[in-house]
Amino acid sequence: MYFTEELITALEKRLQYPLPGWNAQRQMATETHRRARLKVPSTARQAGVLLLLYPGEQSHLYFPLIKRPTYNGAHSGQIAFPGGKIEPQDQSIVDTALRETQEEIGVEVGHSQVLGQLSNLYIPVSRFVVSPVVAFTNEKPQYQCDPVEVADTLDVAAHDFLNTDKQAKQEIKVGEFTLEAPTYVIQDQIIWGATAMMLAEFSAILEDVL
């Protein structure tokens, strides 16, 4: 799957139409996420993350993920998209996703590079409703990571998420609890939870335009 102007244009057009939403997300949902989507609290906070497409190895379609540092918190060590909570200075959730990406991995993305958004997703453990923003850049990003927010970056190929051989159910330990979750296993890293659900929806959109 190559990064081409035609593919980027097709993705932008597809993102303007009704999204796959839960029909795609549920493929990678845990039981916790399945239950939580039915009772999103009115006090849930807003957050934005960025899925930034770029031409990677051999001009294939790639995007970066980050690995969170190990800390005493709900998302310790997890693989995620760059992003974070909305701040008073943000005019929109797109502003949030772009600002947080610049702060976390040092990559500046303009509004003209934004293609659209995926479906909102509620994350019960942190009580955030997350809006995934999709954008593109014509060159591989050069990262300057905030070590407080990001332990590492992963450059991943979009086509890997269409490969069922990269998917597996695994037991995941979260604090004192262990749960069974659908996962992607990419570059020996386990991707699960909300990030995997967002990737499942993006993969469904990719399949629509290919």
How many residues in total does the chain contain? 210
The Cα–Cα gap between 136 and 6 comes to 13
Q: Which pLDDT value is given to residue 172?
A: 86
* Residue type present at position 116: G
Q: Which pLDDT value is given to residue 177?
A: 74
Only one residue has tokens 């330990």, namely 173
Fold of 5-162+193-205: Nucleoside Triphosphate Pyrophosphohydrolase (3.90.79)
The Cα–Cα gap between 169 and 178 comes to 13
Read off the pLDDT of residues 44-87 as tens digits, 9 standing for 90 and up: 999 999 999 999 999 999 999 999 998 765 567 899 999 999 99
Only one residue has tokens 């993006």, namely 202
Percent of the chain with pLDDT over 70: 97
Read off the pLDDT of residues 107-128 as tens digits, 9 standing for 90 and up: 999 999 999 999 999 999 889 9
DSSP element (H, E) containing 22? helix 22-25
